[in-house]
Structure 1
Amino acid sequence: MWPLLVCALGALALPTLALADEAAETIDWTTMGMGLFGGLALFLFGMEQMANALKAVAGERMKDILAKLTVNRFMGALTGAFVTAVINSSSVTTVLVVGFISAGLMTLSQSVGVIMGANIGSTVTAQLIAFQVTEAALLMIGVGFTLQFFAKGERARHYGGMLMGLGMVFFGMGVMSEAMAPLRSYQPFLDFMTRLENPLLGILVAAVFTGLIQSSAATTGIAIVMASQGFITLPTGIALAFGANIGTCVTALLAAIGKSREALRAALVHVIFNVAGVAIWVGFIGELSVLVQEISPHHSELTGAERLAAEVPRQLANAHTLFNVANTLIFIGFAGQFARLVEWLVPERPLGEAAVAVRAKYLDDELLTTPSLALDRVRLEILHMGEYVQRMLEHSMPAILSGDKQRLREVELMDNDVDTLHAQILTYLGKISRLSLTERQTGELMGLMEAVNDLENIGDVVETNLVMLGHERIDAGVSISPPTRQVLNGFHQSVTRAVTAAIQAVAQNNELAARSVTTMKQEISRIADSAAIHQAQRLVAQEPKRIPAYTIEVDIIEKLKRIYYFAKRMAKTVEQPLDEAA
C-alpha cells in the first residue's frame, strides 16, 4: 500500500512544486515531509489497531446480529450501520452479506438495506476524528499500552488496544497538522487548495486517492486535518468526502474479482448506491453546507482561518453523516429495484455452462482481520465441501451394487472436487493460524482442521475403497441379490445419516447434532452385526460365486463402518471443547 500512497501524495504535490518560488526557501521541506508521512503512518496504523481490537471484542457477535436483525430493509439498514460502526469496516460487512446470500440466509433485496446502512456506520470514524482531542492523545496511548500489556483479562487487553489505536489516530493527526502549519503562508499551495473548490476536481482527487489507499476513512481524516489548519472550506471538504465515497467502491469491486455472482451483485449495489448518491448531491453542496453550518457548533468569537479551523472539522463530519443518512432514506424504498437491476446486470450463468473448476464459496481474505468471522466462514465452507461428499455417498451404493464401470468412474471423479475444496480450506486455515488468536480460537481452528481432514478421508474411502469393490464385482461377474442389496442399502442410509449430522454439527457448531452422531454407535454396530449374520447365511447357501460375493459384501460393510468412524471423529471435534469447558 505504501508505494501507492507515495505516488498519490506525489501526484497531489506536483502542481504545488511546479508553482514553487522563493517563498519555498522559508519552508524546511524535509522536515515537513517526515512530519506528513510519519503522522499519516501513525494515523493509519492507529486506525488499523483500533479496528482490529474492535473486531476482536465484538466480531463473534456481529455475524449473529446480521443474521437475526435483517428481517426487512429498514432493520437491515440499521443493522448494517451498527455492525459497520463496531467493526469499523464497510467492506467486511459487505463480505459477510455475500456469505449470507450464498448460504440462503438473506435475500439480495435484504442485503441492499444492509449495504446502504454500512455507509452510515462508516461515518462514525469521521465523527471520532472530528473531536480532535490531540491534547489527550498521549494519555490515551499510555493508558491503552498499560491495559494491553499488563491487564490479565483478554477483553481488557483488547480495550487497551482500542484506546491505544484511537490515541495514535489523534496523535498522528496532531503530527500532520503541525507539519502542514508552514503551508499557511505558502501561496502556491493555497492556490492549489483554491482549485479544489471546483467540486468535480475535489471529487476526482479524493476518489483517486481513496481508490489507491483503499480507505475512505483515511481520506476523510486527512480532509479534517486540512480543515483544522484552515486550508479548505466546508464545500471543498464535502466534495472530498463525496469523492471518498466513490473511491471506496474500488475496495468492493476488488473484493468481488473471481468471486461468486452474489459477491459481484453486492459490490455493484455498493457502487451504484454510492455513485448515484454523489450524483444527486453534487449540485447541492452549497445547500448542504448551509444546513450543516446551522446544526453544528459555532465559534463566532473567532475570525478568518482560525474560525475555519475551529468549525469546519465538525461541520465536515456532520455533512458526511447527513449525506449518507439522507441517501439511505432516499434509496431504501427502492431496495427491490436495486436488487432487480443488479440481477439484470449480472445474470445467473446458463444452466449448460460448466464451471472450470470447483472453488470455495465462503472463504474470503477480507475477513482474516477478524479471526472469529474467518473461522465461521470455514464452517460454512465445510458445509459446502460436505455437499460434494454427500453426493458421492448418495451415488456410490447404486454404482457399487449394480452399476457399470462408467458410473463407478463418475463417482471416482467426484472426489476431485472434494480434494480441491479440502486444499483451499486448509490453505485458509493456515492463513488464520498466522493471526493473533485467543486460546479458544486456537482450539477451534485445530478442531476444524481435524474435521475437514476427516471429511476428506470419507471421500477417499468412497473413491478408493468402495469404487474398487464395485470394479471387483464387475470383474468377478458377481450379481448382488435383492435381499442383500436391501441390507446393504439400509446400512448405507444409516451411515449417510451420520455423515450428514456430523457435517451439520461442524458447520453450525451444533452440540446436539454432534451427540446424535456419537450415540449412533450402538445402532451402527447392531446393523453391522445383522448384516454380517445375513452374509454368513448366504455363505452356506447354494449360490453361484457365493465366495467372491461374500468377500465383496463383507468388505462393503467394513468400509461403511470406517466412514462412520470418520463421521464420529468429526462430531467429536464439536463435543470436545464443550466437554472440556464443563
Structure 2
Amino acid sequence: MDESMVDWWTMSVGLFGGLALFLYGMEQMATALKAAAGERMKDILARLTTNRFMGALTGAFVTAVINSSSITTVLVVGFISAGLLSLSQSVGIIMGANIGSTVTAQLIAFQLDNMALLMIGFGFMLLVAVKREAARHYGGMIMGLGLVFLGMTLMSEAMAPLRDYAPFLDFMATLRNPVLAILIAALFTGLIQSSAATMGIAIVMASQGFMDLETGIALAFGANIGTCVTAMLASIGKPREAVRAALVHVIFNIAGVLVWFGFIGHLAEWVQLISPTRPDLTGQARLAAEVPRQIANAHTLFNIANTLLFIGLTSQLARLVQWLVPDKPASEDAFIVRPRYLDEELLTTPSLALDRVRLEILHMGDSVREMMQSIMPAILGGNRQTLREIELMDNDVDSLHAEIVSYLGKISRQSLTEHQTRELMSLLAAANDLENIGDLIETNLVVLGRERIDQGVSVSEPTREVLLNFHRAVSRALGAALQAVAQNNEIAARTVTAMKSEISAIADSAAAHEARRLVAEEPKRIPAYTLEIDIIEKLQRIYYFAKRMAKTVETDTATDNA
C-alpha cells in the first residue's frame, strides 16, 4: 500500500482515542474493584500464614482482585513495618502478585468486542440507577471492562489499514529481535506504569496479525521488567522496608526474564500446546485468530513458572536485599520522626488508606505514651533537663499529627462511602484527642514539674504513691484507647469508658488524701497541696481525652450496626 493511501489523521485519532478509552476503562475498573474489595483484601493479607506457597497464592488472588501489584506490595510493606510479616514471608506474596497481574491480559484476550457497548450500558445503569453501594461498585467495574473492549475495538479498526503498509510491516519485523522487543516494552510500561496496558496493546496488535507468538512473549518479558519502575518510584523516600520490597520485585522480575530469555522458542511451543488453534485459517488471518490468546497464556505461564522456580529461594532473596539495602546507622534518623504507614499509593483505595491512618495513630500514640510514662517521675523528682526532654517529645507528636491530618485531607478528596466518611471523621477526632494529650503533658504537667523545682516542694512518700496509682490507671486507659482506635476494637473502647467509675473513685480518694494533708503540720503544705491537686486535675483531663478517643470507636460501630 502506498503511503498516500493511508489516512494518517483518521488513523491517529482512532488509535489515540481508543488508547485513551482503553486506559481510562482500566483505571475505572481498577478503582471500582479496589472500592468493592479493598477491605476484604486487607483482611486476607493480614491473615497470612508462614507458608510461602500460601503467601504466593494469596498475593496472586489479592492482586487479581484489586488489579494492582503495586498496591499489594505497598500493603506488604505496611505489614512488615507493623511486625506482622517478615521480609522472607513477603517475598512469596510479591512473587504471587506477578501471577495476579496477568488476569487482566487474560480478560482482554477474550476479545469480547461485540459485548463492549452492552457492558458499558449495563454498568452505567448500575452506577446511576441502583442505590446499593456494592452494586454501584460492580457497575463501575463492568462499565470499565466495557470501555477496555471498546478502546481495543477502536485501536484495532484504526490499525487495520497498516496490514498492507510495507514500512510498518518492516518495523514489526524488527521486533522479532527479542532484545529490541523487550527494551521497547520495558520503556513503554515504565512510561505508562501499567504492564496490563502494554499487554493489552500487544494483544490488539496480535489481533490484526501483526506479530507472531515469539514477539508477543518478548513484549511480555519487557512488560515484566518495565512494571518494576512503578515499584521503585513508589519506594522513593520510603522506609527501608519499602525499598527492600521494591528491590525484591525488581530482582525477581529481571532474574525471571534472564532465565527464560534463551527459551522463548520452547515457551512458545508449550503455550501452543495448551492454547486453542485455528487450522482452518492460514497466514495473517491465522495469526490474528490464535496469537492473542497465546500471548495471554504465555504471560500467565511465564509468571507461574518463575514463581515455582524461585519460591524455594525466598529466604536467600530476603537476605540478598537486606545486604543490598542495609539498615541506616542509628544516628542518621535518631532525631527525625517520620510517618511509617501513610503511603500515597493507597489513596485511591480509601478503605486501605484509612487502615494505614489507624496504624499511624498508633505510631503517634507510642510517642504520647512515652511522654506519659516519663512525666510523673519527672514531676515528682526529676530535674529541669528531664522535663525539657519530655517537652521536646511533643514535637514528634505535633509532626505526626500534622502528617495524619494532611493524609486524611487527601483521602477526603476521594470518592468515599458513608461508612468511610464516618470512619475518616472518627480518626480525625482521635488524632486530635491524642495531640491534645501531648499538648497537655507539654504545656501543663511539665510546667507543674518546674514549679515543684522553683518552689522547693517535696512530695511525701504516701502522696507519691497516691499520684503514681492514679497515673497508672490513666495510662492504662490511654493504652486501651489507642488499641481501640488502631484495631477498631470495640471491646477495648468499652474498657476505657467502663473505667470512668474507677477513675472517679481514685480521683476522689486522692482529693480526700490531699485534704487531710492540707490540715497537717508540714512545711510548704499550701504550695504542695496546690501542685498535687493540679496534677490530679490534669490526669483527669487526660482520661477525658482517652475516653473521647474510645467513644469514636463505639459510636462508629453502633452507627454501622444500626
TM-score normalised by structure 1 residue count = 0.95
Distance 1:95 1:515 in 2: 32
Match of 2:554 among 552, 575, 578: 575
Counterpart position of 2:83: 104
Letter of the 2:73 partner, please give it: T
Runs ≥4 in structure 1, deviation > 4 angstroms?
A: none
Q: Tell me how many residue pairs correspond in the alignment.
A: 561
> Corresponding residue for 1:364?
343
Task: Write the distance in 1 (CA, Å) between the matches of 2:558 and 2:268.
Answer: 60
Instruction: Identify the range of structure 1 (67-76 vs 509-518) with the bigger mean alpha-carbon deviation.
Output: 67-76
Given candidates 159, 166, 170, the residue that maps to 2:145 is 166
Equivalent in the alignment of 1:293: 272
Question: Within 1, Cα distance between the matches of 2:3 and 2:482?
Answer: 68
Return 478-487 or 489-498, whichever deviates more. Answer: 478-487
Structure 2 partner of 1:206: 185
What is the DSSP-based 3-state SS (H/G/I as helix, E as strand, rest coil) of the residue aligned with 1:353?
helix
Matched, 1:314 2:325: no
Aligned position for 1:17 = none
Equivalence for 2:129: 150
Where do 5+ consecutive residues of structure 1 fail to align? 1-21
| Alignment-mate amino acid for residue 551 of structure 2 | K
Deviations 1:326-351 (A, max 9, x none): 00000000000011111111112223
Separation in 1 of the partners of 2:35 and 2:243? 28
Q: SS state of the match for residue 160, structure 2?
A: helix
Matches within 5 A, 1:87-486: 87-355=66-334, 357-486=336-465
Distance in 1 of aligned mates of 2:528 and 2:2? 98
Distance 1:552 1:182 in 2: 89
In 2: Cα distance, 1:135 partner to 1:524 partner: 69
Letter in 2 for 1:532: A
Give the alignment partner of residue 73 of structure 1, picking from 52, 57, 67.
52
2:454 is the counterpart of 1:488: no
CA distance in 2, matches of 1:502, 1:162: 38
Q: Deviations over 1:7-55 (max 9, x none)?
A: xxxxxxxxxxxxxxx9221111111111111101100110111111111
> Do 1:70 and 1:114's aligned partners in 2 also have CA atoms closer than 8 Å?
no
Equivalent in 13, 21, 36 of residue 34 of structure 1: 13
Q: CA deviation at 1:209?
A: 0.7
Counterparts of 1:276 and 1:203 in 2: how far apart (Å)? 14
**Alignment partner, residue 536 of structure 2:** 557
Residue identity opposite 1:60 in structure 2: E
Q: Which residue of 1 aligns with 2:497?
A: 518
C-alpha distance after superposition, 1:43-83 (max 9, x if no partner): 01101111111111111101110111333100000000000
Deviations 1:460-480 (A, max 9, x none): 000100001111111111111
Q: Which of 501, 512, 530 is the aligned partner of 2:509?
A: 530
Matching residue of 1:8: none
User: 2: distance between equivalents of 1:215 and 1:175?
Assistant: 20
TM-superposition CA deviations, 1:405-441 (whole Å, max 9, x none): 1100000000000000000001110011111111111
CA distance in structure 1 between the partners assigned to 2:12 and 2:401 by the alignment: 49
- C-alpha separation in 2, matches of 1:372 and 1:354: 30
Rounded Cα–Cα distance in structure 2 between residues aligned with 1:177 and 1:354: 54
Q: Which moved more, 1:545-554 or 1:325-334?
A: 545-554
What is the CA–CA distance in structure 2 between the aligned matches of 1:523 and 1:349, rounded to whole Å? 45
Deviations 1:86-124 (A, max 9, x none): 000000000000000000111111100000000000000
Paired with 2:401 and 2:158, the residues of 1 have a C-alpha distance of 52
Q: Structure 2: any 5+ residue segments left out of the alignment?
A: none
Alignment match, 1:13: none
Q: Which amino acid aligns with 1:108?
A: L
Identical pairs, percent: 75
User: Cα distance, 1:364 vs. partner?
Assistant: 0.7
State the Cα deviation string for residues 147-196 of structure 1 (Å, max 9, x = none): 11101211111111111000000000000011111111111111111111
The 1-side partners of 2:165 and 2:444 are apart by 79
CA distance in 1, matches of 2:328, 2:131: 53
1:356 to partner: Cα distance:
5.4
The amino acid across from 1:212 in the alignment is L
Query: Which secondary structure state, in structure 2, belongs to the residue aligned with residue 493 of structure 1?
Result: helix
Aligned match for 1:48, one of 23, 27, 38: 27
RMSD: 1.0
SS at 2:326 equivalent? coil
Aligned partners of 1:70 and 1:79 also within 8 Å: no
Tell me the amino acid that sits aligned with residue 150 of structure 1. A
Moved more, 211-220 or 347-356: 347-356
**Secondary structure, counterpart of 1:301 in structure 2:** coil
Amino acid at match of 1:251: T
CA distance in 1, matches of 2:207, 2:467: 78
